[in-house]
């Protein structure tokens, strides 16, 4: 029985037959496509590529290999890189076996190979081949079309890089049509929303709607992107499990060559954690500010308490020590008088012993109110200690200070404290001294007023005494105890 391969070898065409007609090749060589013919007869049955001769014809594109326009004959392995040569050899063996087995679908084969350029670099090409059969349906020739796909490969590589970047992006990336239907989502979208990418394809982006944004919000968003502008903003969306989350989003329109919008690309970032931290920080700052305000108020209160008498609310002796020197210095600068009235409750110990300390405290508070009501703005009222009080009266002449002291003494004596069923009456003794009449220093001024006070007590109490009769006219008023 004859071997069909051997029979085909006996009928091997010569080189003129194997070489495809130039006119046909010229007509098929369009837009840089190179055509070639291969005489398979020499290769069968072993199919050694070094014995397979290419009959090449090109007009334009075969210049990608750097050769001049001519018909050449060379071993196929020399036209390919070693890996591509092995690939082609295996593919040809497989195809010829299928053809010999009667599989006519194997006539047409498309593959990609690498070809060395004349200058040494590699040119990726796409080869589309057709096996020509003889009358016995045996493969005897191979017609091929090859074209340079360097640009396509570069674009594919760039596309793969971009796709890899999008797939690996930490932010969710979404592509929709102009109606808002989802065409593509990256893995970050699934992590962010809980929706599987296949389950949302074709669905409207409203599946994420939380209902927290108004219609006006979405109307403005769509108005912006449909006008071809980028929209940026924040919104609250809903995950698949119903949980709300805050999202920062930028939507960019993608236009075709005619300038028409075809797609929208949205980059979405879950900022729930960031906003939660910001709100926590803001709350912490507010709490801190409130605490600082409390501390400030407490400091003010403590500072006020440090100079206030807790029982009467009047300034204490500490405040007097700080203020008297300042008022004295101002008085000296302005060359104005300064009067000091030292006031004491007569028989205060007797009141405590008779009515109790609570009654005594009420008498002191009543006197403090009386003093505060009877002074001018700028006058200073202090509880000097125990039942003693002090009035600091700037810019007032001694005579006027004496009149005010007397009016205060009379008003207090005329009033009575209702204590249960009893009425308690008390009187005041007052010592008065002034600068520059009686003293030239703050301490001396107080000493003179204190001395005048005790002189008033020795003189029968319920009276006002001026510090020194030799320093000014003797102004005393004796009041018969009532």
- The confidence score (pLDDT) of residue 66 equals 54
- E strands present in 335-462: 338-345, 380-385, 388-394, 417-419, 422-424, 428-435
Lowest-pLDDT range of 59-73, 153-167, 367-381: 59-73
pLDDT tier at 302 (50, 70, 90 boundaries)?
Answer: confident
pLDDT tier at 193 (50, 70, 90 boundaries)?
Answer: very high
Position 473 pLDDT exceeds 70: no
Taking the CB of residue 323, how many other CB atoms lie within 10 A of it? Answer: 16
Q: Which of 249, 245, 175 is nearest to 210 (CA)?
A: 245
pLDDT one-digit tens code per residue, 69-114: 443 455 667 778 899 888 888 888 888 888 888 888 888 889 999 9
Question: What one-character-per-residue DSSP string does 298-332 give?
Answer: HHHHHHHHHTB-TTT-SB-HHHHHHHHHHHHHHHH
CA–CA dist 266, 268 (Å, integer): 6
- The confidence score (pLDDT) of residue 36 equals 55
Position 418 pLDDT exceeds 60: yes
Question: Across the chain, what does the average pLDDT equal?
Answer: 82
pLDDT tier at 390 (50, 70, 90 boundaries)?
Answer: very high
Can you tell me whether residue 378 is helix, strand or coil?
coil
Neighbouring residues of 380: CB distance < 8 A, sequence distance ≥ 6: 315, 320, 323, 327, 391, 392
CA–CA dist 416, 131 (Å, integer): 134
Higher pLDDT, 144 or 74: 144
Q: Which residues pair with 385 in a beta bridge?
A: 388
pLDDT tier at 144 (50, 70, 90 boundaries)?
Answer: confident
Position 60 pLDDT exceeds 90: no
Residues 398/466, Cβ–Cβ less than 8 Å: yes
Structure tokens at 213: 């944004």
DSSP, res 228:
T
Beta strands 53-57; 464-466: pairing state? unpaired
pLDDT one-digit tens code per residue, 221-258: 999 999 999 999 999 999 999 999 999 999 999 999 99
pLDDT one-digit tens code per residue, 22-31: 333 333 333 3
Q: Which residue reads 């939507």 in tokens?
A: 251
Look at the alpha carbons of 434, 437, 443, 447 in this order and tell me if their dihedral is positive or negative.
negative
Lowest-pLDDT range of 51-60, 387-396, 436-445, 447-456: 51-60
**Burial class of residue 52 (count of CB atoms within 10 Å of its CB; 0-12, 13-18, 19+):** buried
Position 48 pLDDT exceeds 60: no
DSSP, res 450:
H
CA–CA dist 89, 4 (Å, integer): 20
| Percentage of residues of the chain with pLDDT beyond 90 | 54
Mean pLDDT of 262-276: 95
Position 183 pLDDT exceeds 70: yes
Q: Which of 55, 58, 63 is nearest to 117 (CA)?
A: 63
Mean pLDDT of 383-387: 92
- The confidence score (pLDDT) of residue 160 equals 86
pTM for the model: 0.52
Mean pLDDT of 433-460: 93
CA–CA dist 403, 367 (Å, integer): 18
Mean pLDDT of 466-477: 55
Position 308 pLDDT exceeds 60: yes
Mean pLDDT of 182-202: 94
CA–CA dist 446, 433 (Å, integer): 8
Residues 199/189, Cβ–Cβ less than 8 Å: no
């Amino acid at each position: 029985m004859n071997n069909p391969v051997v029979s085909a070898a006996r009928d091997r065409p010569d080189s003129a037959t194997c070489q495809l007609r130039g006119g046909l090749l010229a007509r098929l060589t369009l837009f840089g496509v190179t055509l070639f013919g291969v005489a398979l007869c020499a290769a069968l049955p072993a199919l050694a590529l070094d014995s397979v001769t290419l009959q090449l014809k090109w007009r334009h594109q075969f210049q990608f290999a750097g050769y001049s326009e001519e018909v050449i004959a060379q071993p196929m392995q020399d036209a390919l890189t070693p890996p591509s040569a092995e690939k082609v050899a295996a593919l040809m063996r497989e195809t010829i076996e299928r053809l010999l087995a009667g599989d006519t679908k194997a006539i047409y084969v498309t593959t990609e190979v690498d070809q060395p350029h004349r200058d040494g670099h590699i040119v990726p090409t796409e080869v589309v081949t057709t096996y020509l059969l003889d009358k016995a349906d045996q493969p005897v020739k191979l017609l091929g079309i090859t074209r340079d796909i360097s640009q396509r490969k570069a674009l594919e590589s760039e596309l793969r890089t971009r796709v890899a970047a999008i797939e690996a992006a930490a932010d969710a990336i979404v592509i929709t049509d102009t109606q808002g239907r989802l065409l593509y989502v990256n893995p970050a979208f699934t992590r962010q929303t809980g929706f599987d990418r296949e389950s949302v394809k074709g669905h409207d982006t409203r599946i994420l709607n939380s209902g927290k944004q108004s219609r006006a919000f979405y109307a403005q968003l769509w108005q912006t992107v449909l006008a071809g502008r980028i929209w940026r903003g924040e919104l609250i969306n809903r995950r698949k499990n119903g949980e709300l989350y805050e999202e920062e989003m930028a939507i960019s329109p993608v236009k075709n060559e005619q300038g028409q919008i075809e797609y929208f690309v949205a980059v979405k970032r879950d900022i729930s954690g960031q906003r939660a931290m910001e709100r926590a920080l803001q709350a912490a700052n507010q709490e801190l500010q409130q605490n600082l305000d409390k501390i400030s108020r407490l400091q003010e209160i403590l500072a006020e308490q440090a100079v206030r008498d807790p029982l009467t609310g009047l300034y204490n002796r500490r405040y007097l020590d700080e203020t008297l020197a300042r008022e004295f210095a101002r008085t000296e600068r302005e060359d104005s008088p300064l009067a000091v009235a030292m006031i004491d409750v007569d028989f205060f110990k007797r009141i405590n012993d008779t009515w109790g300390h609570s009654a005594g405290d009420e008498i002191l508070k009543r006197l403090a109110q009386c003093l505060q009501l009877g002074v001018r703005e700028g006058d200073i009222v202090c509880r000097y200690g125990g039942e003693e009080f002090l009035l600091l009266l700037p810019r007032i002449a001694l005579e006027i200070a004496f009149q005010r002291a007397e009016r205060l003494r009379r008003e207090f004596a005329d009033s009575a404290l209702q204590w249960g069923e009893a009425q308690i009456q008390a009187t005041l003794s007052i010592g008065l001294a002034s600068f520059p009449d009686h003293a030239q220093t703050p301490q001396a001024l107080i000493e003179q007023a204190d001395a005048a006070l005790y002189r008033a007590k020795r003189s029968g109490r319920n009276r006002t005494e001026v510090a020194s009769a030799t320093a000014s006219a003797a102004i005393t008023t004796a009041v018969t105890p009532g």
